[in-house]
A and B are shown apart, each in its own frame.
Chain A
Amino acid sequence: MENNAPVLEVINLHTYYGNIHALKGITLSVHKGEIVTLIGANGAGKTTTLKTICGLLKPRLGEVYHEGRMINVLKAHEIVSLGISMVPEGRGIFSRLTVLENLDLGAYIRTDRVAINEDLDRVFSLFPRLKERQKQVAGTLSGGEQQMLAIGRALMARPQILLMDEPSMGLAPILVESIFETIKTINQEGVTVLLVEQNALMALSIANRGYVLQTGQIVLQDTAANLQINEMVQKAYLGME
């Protein structure tokens, strides 16, 4: 896997919020078929990294490459059509639209109606709850259902790479497990995943590799298995003494 050219490559990324230097030179790579996770405390720059990759934020320095093509100069909606979809933090669903309208918006860039309907069925088979509630206004869904909707909506774009920002946030432990099971399933179907998580334990249990972020810098990178037994990671993020 390592000797292939990465499908997504981030080189020396510096992103600012006004004068605040949020990312101080992030370099990472994601290969086809992998699940890669970014772990770190609040404010470490995990979300900022994802937002910079998907084009919502522009880096002041550094580049993002998708299959060798520089994409940090593109707008967010152009990046989506390259096959990079994001599940935003806090779900970011359109609460006043129905479940079905949300899913249709996920497929906004596509025009192949037949394939869209196939993907709709696939999302409904992944998340049967969404099928029951397809006519319902999304704002009335429970937190877990909203998260399912956000993931389902991202899948509707038939992405090659899925960027996920804190999919476990605010969910009951049993739901967290099923969401992570789903992420694994999606990955096995061929979608590359870059996963940002505070729940480092869960993230490392399904990831191939991981990066540890601290105050805008990568302090550690290794395979998920090695990170799980790393002393520093255990202390800081896995709550082990």
Chain B
Amino acid sequence: MAEIALTTRRKTRISGFRIVQIIVALLTIAFITWRFVGVLQSGIYGTDTWLRFIISGVIIGGVYSMIAIGYTLVYGILFMINFAHGEVMMLGAFSGYFVLEALRSWIVDPVNEVTFLNAYPIPAILLTFLVGMLTSMIIGVMLERIAYRPLRGAPRLVPLISAIGASIFFQNLAQLLFGPVRRIYANPTILDRANGIRLIVNEKTVVIQYTGIFTVIVSILMLVGLYLLVQRTRLGRAMRAVAQDKPTASLMGIDVDGVISRTFMISGILAGAAGVLWGIHNGIIYHYVGFIPGIKAFTAAVLGGIGNIPGAMLGGYFLGIVENLGPAILGIDFQLKDVIAFSILVLVLIFRPTGILGEVLSEEKV
């Protein structure tokens, strides 16, 4: 009898929470619709403006999704949030910056004062990415070795605290090394941030920057490459095996620590590329530049279903678009777009903690 009473009570409690969830969801939808209708009726934004929001959303979404993959890969394998991941990206962005600066001051044609950067823009860009990715890769691997590996087997809060500590450490290290100044990325002229494809919409010009197109292309290429790596290669199979069951993976002869190390390598490479893209497209970097994109990408990873690779890709693009469209839809100030991103995080965690692609998490994972 006591048991029956207990289960009944538990059932009512769950359905009570469910009702609250539904009410909150309906209120949220009603509120958004009300604001959106108001904005549309006022006609303050033309088609061209909406298009601009979507374009900038897609571009930033490409960067978010590359960083989000790093969170999701590491979570999938270690069940921990690598909160220093944004800083791994920031350090990649800085190393790319120094490569571009060096190439910009290297004059290959003294007569016409042509720099290496503009004489050979494609090798210059490739070198920048290479150095950026390599730096982030090394930082990522060292981070795991020094800050996380010794804590393997500790309660799950412990590596999380270590990650936050590492994040603060890297921010301060960058400030110490590079100073608190904002630096401007020196793009070659073919990737000038002022140029782009010009579309005429609504009798107004909408510019799609070349840097933006470049960002989206690089992002999609890297995401496809990563997906193939995880699904088709021996290393990818080993990663998925380690993610699912470490002891059994080691019984297959898989060096679990080695696979974890390589996971940090891959997520570092993606973060480094994302950092360089961030610099090339946004133009300005400083020691704190990894923090907000890092947390946004974490949001994107949660949104897509943490541990789920296609989910992180989708979540990154979705978040980028929503946070750019959101302030316009709600008719609020554009300074508040971070509020929208983090409100999404809170709402997802309340209503669908497993994310959009809803991977069913085993007890061990939760």
Contact = CB atoms under 8 A, between A and B. Distances in A.
Contacts of A77: 250-256
A108 B251 CA distance: 10
B75 to A, nearest CB: 15
B47 interface: no
Interface stretch (A60-68, A94-102, A211-219): A94-102
Contacts of B250: 55-56, 75-77, 80
A54 B237 CA distance: 22
A229 to B, nearest CB: 36
B241 A105 contact: yes
B234 interface: yes
Given A56-B247, A76-B247, A96 B240 contact: yes
Contacts of B237: 97, 101, 104-105, 108
Given A101-B237, A108-B234, A108-B238, A81 B253 contact: yes
Contact of B253 (A80, A97, A101): A80
B241 A85 contact: no
Interface in B50-78: none
A85 B240 contact: no
Given A75-B250, A80-B251, A105 B238 contact: yes
Nearest to A86: B251
A95 B238 contact: no
Contacts of B240: 94, 96-97, 101
Contacts of B241: 94, 97, 105
Nearest to A150: B248
Contact of A76 (B234, B245, B251): B251
A88 interface: yes
A95 B244 contact: yes
Interface string B242-278: 0011011111111110000000000000000000000
Contact of A108 (B244, B245, B247, B254): B254
Given A101-B237, A105-B238, A88 B254 contact: no
Given A97-B237, A104-B237, A105-B237, A88 B251 contact: yes
A153 to B, nearest CB: 8
Nearest to B236: A101
A43 interface: no
A227 interface: no
A54 B245 contact: no
Nearest to B238: A108
Contacts of B255: 75, 77
Given A104-B237, A108-B238, A97 B254 contact: no
Interface residues of A, number: 25
Residue in A75, A76, A96, A101 with the greatest tally of chain B CB atoms within 10 Å: A76
A94 B252 CA distance: 11
A55 B237 CA distance: 22
A157 interface: yes
A54 B244 contact: no
A240 B51 CA distance: 81
B250 to A, nearest CB: 4
Interface in A48-85: 54-56, 75-77, 80-81, 85
A54 B251 contact: yes
A167 interface: no
A11 interface: no
Interface in A96-140: 96-97, 101, 104-106, 108-109
A210 B350 CA distance: 56
Contacts of A86: 251
A77 B245 CA distance: 14
Interface string A25-59: 00000000000000000000000000000111000
Given A94-B240, A97-B237, A101-B237, A106 B248 contact: no
B253 A94 contact: no
B294 to A, nearest CB: 28
A108 B248 contact: no
B185 to A, nearest CB: 41
A228 to B, nearest CB: 31
Contacts of B254: 77, 105, 108
A81 B240 CA distance: 20
Given A96-B240, A97-B240, A101-B237, A106 B252 contact: yes
Contacts of A92: 245, 247-248, 251
B40 to A, nearest CB: 44
A157 B251 CA distance: 10
B252 A80 contact: yes
A8 B250 CA distance: 20
Contacts of B251: 54, 56, 76-77, 80, 85-86, 88, 92
21 contacts: A55-B250, A56-B250, A76-B247, A76-B250, A76-B251, A77-B254, A77-B256, A80-B251, A80-B252, A81-B253, A88-B247, A88-B248, A92-B245, A92-B251, A94-B240, A94-B245, A94-B248, A96-B244, A105-B252, A108-B234, A108-B253
- Going nearest first, the 7 A-B pairs with the smallest beta carbon separation are A109-B253, A80-B253, A76-B250, A92-B248, A108-B252, A105-B252, A77-B250
Interface of B: 234, 237-238, 240-241, 244-245, 247-256
